[in-house]
Amino acid sequence: MEAVQVRRAFKYRFYPTDAQAAELSRTFGCVRKVYNLALEARTQAWTLRQERVNYNATSAMLTAWKKTEELAYLGEVSSVPLQQALRHLQTAFTHFFARRAGYPRFKSRKKSRKSAEYTTSAFRFRAGELTLAKMTEPLEIVWSRPLPEGATPSTVTVSQDSAGRWYVSLLCEDPTVGPLAPTDAAVGVDAGLDHLLTLSTGEKISNPRHERRDRTRLARAQRYLARKAPGEGANRAKARRKVARIHARVADRRRDTLHKITTRLVRENQTIVIEDLTVRNLLKNGKLARAISDAAWSEFRSLLEYKAQWYGREVIAVDRWFPSSKLCSVCGTLRDKLPLHVRTWTCDCGTTHDRDVNAARNILAAGLAVSACGAGVRPQRSTPGGQSATKQEPPRREP
């Protein structure tokens, strides 16, 4: 397999000076303002005149907005992030017209992600120091890992999360990423709540339940926030950041765990077969929504798929209606019923099954059968068979 040059984003934390923080905060506000103005203009043009406004037209509007007294402050920040906001809006409309996404929504000052994107004309990267436009000093970046040797960033994205932490993401080509040596190993993966993942090899990966570990701290912080007077007061903002830091801690630990698991699976196996779960529908179960969200099955699949594409592996998704738990992996007998509280069962052929391990083995067999037959339309999401009469099995209730 020929090596494909991979463009990869390297994310680092940095600590801005007061002047840099003020400049970036102004830039975030201007980016949000330009995005919302352009979205409003495009929406009104279509609603009133059935006219489609493209990126070039909104770019001309931006020039005109800077000349008005009301929006003259847009000229005080770098123009590149503002132009990039218009390009992002154009991409959002492209996805909408292609029916890949919903209609673009306005950015909120409180809820939307604070970020600004700089292209090569708006930053200088020399000797490991990054200086953005409108700034005289380089950013104080914590280089937690080195960039690829000789790599030059093509795009820099600066962001601030709800916990107040500042991050910079450098997009560059990574020559170290390429297909791994082929192997005959294949594994089936069954997702669950008692165990995060069960492999067809019989291995069970425990569910860390990161959110549960900090649930008491989070509840205390949320009660503290609820007692603060509503509005934009300093005490309420401080309490809000405290809640956000706990959420960020949980999310960081969860992401770290999923990265380690997916990297290991991709390195050890040529083919990985998973279930095509509809997590959005499963979250409608009020009793299990919190546990399912904490398991982050969708994020697990996303990480697994892009890493498999990087390293020349294959990910196959088995149809969600495939009766993996009720099917004997030895003789192929399908049971009529298998209640959720039954974790082990014995088939008529005499084989005693662990419910999750048996499901993982059936998932692997179904995925390999489809791969051998050459079925599947999308290379990363091959789906065996059609929808069966057996309903999708809901996850077991969290103990």
- Mark whether 356 is an active-site residue: yes
Q: Which candidate in 190, 211, 294, 393 is catalytic?
A: 190
344 touches 354 (CB < 8 A): yes
Q: Which helix or strand (DSSP H or E) is residue 295 part of?
A: helix 289-295
| Phi, psi of 188, rounded to the nearest 5 degrees | -105, 140
d(CA 56, CA 37): 15
Q: Give 156's DSSP letter.
A: E
Helix (H) or strand (E) holding 6: strand 6-14
Question: How many CB atoms within 10 Å of residue 394?
Answer: 12
Contact indicator for 320, 275 with CB cutoff of 8 Å: yes
- CA nearest to 189, candidates 301, 321, 351, 290: 301
227-238: burial string, b at 16+ Cβ within 10 Å, e else: eeeeeeeeeeee
Of these residues, 117, 211, 275, 294, which one is catalytic?
Answer: 275
Q: Round to whole Å and give the CA distance between 352 and 329.
A: 10
Structure tokens at 2: 């020929």
Between CA 181 and CA 357 the distance in angstroms is: 28
Residue type, 43: T
Would residue 252 show up in a list of annotated catalytic residues for this protein?
A: no
Distance, in Å, from the CA atom of 265 to the CA atom of 320, rounded to the nearest integer, reads 21
Q: What is the Cα–Cα distance from 188 to 369, expressed in whole angstroms?
A: 12
Closest CA to 393 of 331, 345, 342, 351: 342
User: Coil, strand, or helix at residue 14?
Assistant: strand
* E strand or H helix at 353: strand 352-354
| Residues whose CB is less than 8 angstroms from the CB of residue 121 and which lie 6 or more positions away in sequence, other chains included | 80
Q: Give yes or no: 40 in active site.
A: no
Q: Cα(299)–Cα(317) distance, rounded to whole angstroms?
A: 15
Catalytic residue among 23, 117, 356, 393: 356
- The residues carrying an active-site annotation are 190, 275, 356
